[in-house]
Amino acid sequence: MTPTAFWLIAAILAQGALALGLLWYLGTIRIPTVMKGEVRIDDIALERQGWPKREWQASNAFDNQFQLPVLFYVGAGLALYFGPTLFEIVLAWLFVVSRYAHAFVHITDNHVIRRFAAYFVGLLLLCVFWLDLVLRLLLTL
């Protein structure tokens, strides 16, 4: 394995760890809330309205890990196929950092402007990552 492949795979694992960490955190909110009787199972069986705000924040942060990050995983797989460049490694890690920042804002004060800023930075990084991959593909023709 090349060093660049190693660091790209590490970024992929770090992004996956974020999703799993958020799922774990969500469980630490949901299970005690139900066990203490603060939320009735019938009230949350089909809808999320019965959960407290803190659960919604964590749940939304978790759900967000299946939006932009899906495109990141696909792009990272393509980069691994091509043989990742140092530029792609930097973009990948910056994207992952932006996702951690986004999730952190989401589960803490949920300040919408800061959350959007982290999201938008990640989106821009992902667009540059994909543009880089498209250019690499076109240059191989």
Taking only the tens of pLDDT, the chain with its 141 residues reads: 999 999 999 999 999 999 999 999 999 999 999 999 998 888 887 788 888 999 999 999 999 999 999 999 999 999 999 999 999 999 999 999 999 999 999 999 999 999 999 999 999 999 999 999 999 999 988
Q: How confident is the model at residue 75, as a pLDDT?
A: 98
Q: How confident is the model at residue 45, as a pLDDT?
A: 76
| pTM (predicted TM-score) | 0.94
Instruction: State the residue range of the domain holding 26.
Output: 3-139
Check which CATH number belongs to the domain holding 92 and give it.
Answer: 1.20.120.550
In single-letter form, the type of residue at position 114 comes to R
Contact 26, 55 (CB under 8 A): yes
Host H or E run for residue 112: helix 112-139
Per-residue pLDDT tens over the stretch 56-88: 999 999 999 999 999 999 999 999 999 999 999
Distance of alpha carbon 65 from the chain centroid: 4
Percent helix, strand and coil across the chain, each to the nearest 5: 80, 0, 20
Give the span between the Cα atoms of 74 and 16, in whole angstroms: 13
| Tally of domains in the chain | 1
* 102: its two tokens: 């986004």
Supply the DSSP symbol for 50: T
